[in-house]
Structure 1
Amino acid sequence: MNPPRRAAAPSFSSVEFRQALGSFATGVTIVTARAADGRLIGLTANSFNSVSLNPPLVLWSLSRLAGSMPAFERGSHYAIHILAAEQMALAERFAAKGVDRFAGLSWREGAGGAPLLDGAAAVFECFNRSRYEEGDHVIFVGEVERCEQRPGALPLIFHGGRYFTELPL
């Protein structure tokens, strides 16, 4: 018997799919870059994951319709910040539309000009190694050139549409 060549049509709605995905607790990140015209770009994302230790690779994804897509597609570098528990307001700020996300923030310049935000639990400075178009998103794979961690920082966690922090069992 030959395996099917395509997946069967979904037996659920987009709303049901989104609700089921909300059952998976994720960390919260902010991904930043500098556009070719010098503008600072940043957004909140929870689609972050490790890929490889050697070479050091991580991935994240972005909607094809995102206004920041051209900057991430064309840029050589970006930075991924794993947010600390006390950075919930920053996560909301970088998820909001129509605001200057960097106004009044303390940051320094990282690899390729990507802004590095202060206070994150960890930061990965990445070379924009490859991209894969899948469904309505683009998956970015970054090769980590530098990383740092803030010892003792508790992570910000997102689950079921709400923010949490780590509690030991």
Structure 2
Amino acid sequence: MHTTSPRAEDRAFDTAHFRQALGQFATGVTVITTRLADGTFRGLTASSFNSVSLDPPLVLWSLANGANSMPIFSGNSHYVINVLNARQAHLAKLFATRGVNPWDSVEYELSRTGQPILKGASAWFECHNRSRYPEGDHVIFVGEVELCEFSPCPPLIFHGGQFGALG
């Protein structure tokens, strides 16, 4: 069920100010990875990750409508959400850079469905691509977690346009 409420008032909205305000919310940093039918790996950096439900186990993330990888993640049945550890900022930058193949320099292993899992991640979630919801200038992906794992290492965080660690 998708419902919307009426807007309080029509007014000009400062998108740059909104973006700065959002930057005050510290988030974890993930790399979403998948494998295409031809065996090619793809991945992207995302900080829009959150839990949805424990029963069934659901998580969400979002992707801009104009992203080059939209057809890839919309069409694949599975993907892995890799939660980066505090020493993996280089991976966040690598997977956010256009025109480079990050897989040439990344250590990974394969999940049970053949999806790439980044070595050293604080946690990973192998997901079935359950549903997608267009909203604003993004699509919200809801993944049903089929398998997950974690290690007790500090996560990478993003706050105010900077990568960092807790503490």
Using structure 1 for the length normalisation, give the TM-score.
0.91
Q: Structure 1's 122 and 6: CA in aligned 2 closer, same or farther, altered over 3 A? A: same
Specify the alignment match of 1:79 in structure 2. 80
Contact 1:76 1:112 in 2 (8 A): no
Map 1:7-156 onto structure 2 (within 5 A).
Answer: 8-151=9-152, 153-156=153-156
State how far apart, in whole Å, the 2-side matches of 1:37 and 1:10 are: 48
- Cα RMSD (Å): 1.4
Which whole-Å deviations, capped at 9, do the CAs of 1:2-59 have from their partners, x for residues lacking one?
xx73453354311111111101000000000112332211010000000001111000
Count of paired positions: 163
What secondary structure does 2:19 align onto?
Answer: helix
Gaps of 5+ in 2: none
* AA in 2 matched with 1:162: Q
What secondary structure does 1:124 align onto?
Answer: strand
Specify the alignment match of 1:161 in structure 2. 161
Using structure 2 for the length normalisation, give the TM-score.
0.92
State how far apart, in whole Å, the 1-side matches of 2:10 and 2:41 are: 40
State how far apart, in whole Å, the 2-side matches of 1:115 and 1:42 are: 9
Identity over aligned pairs, percent: 57
Q: Cα offset for 1:113? A: 2.5
What secondary structure does 2:102 align onto?
Answer: coil
Gaps of 5+ in 1: none
Q: Which runs of 4+ in 1 moved over 4 A?
A: none
Q: Structure 1's 32 and 10: CA in aligned 2 closer, same or farther, altered over 3 A? A: farther
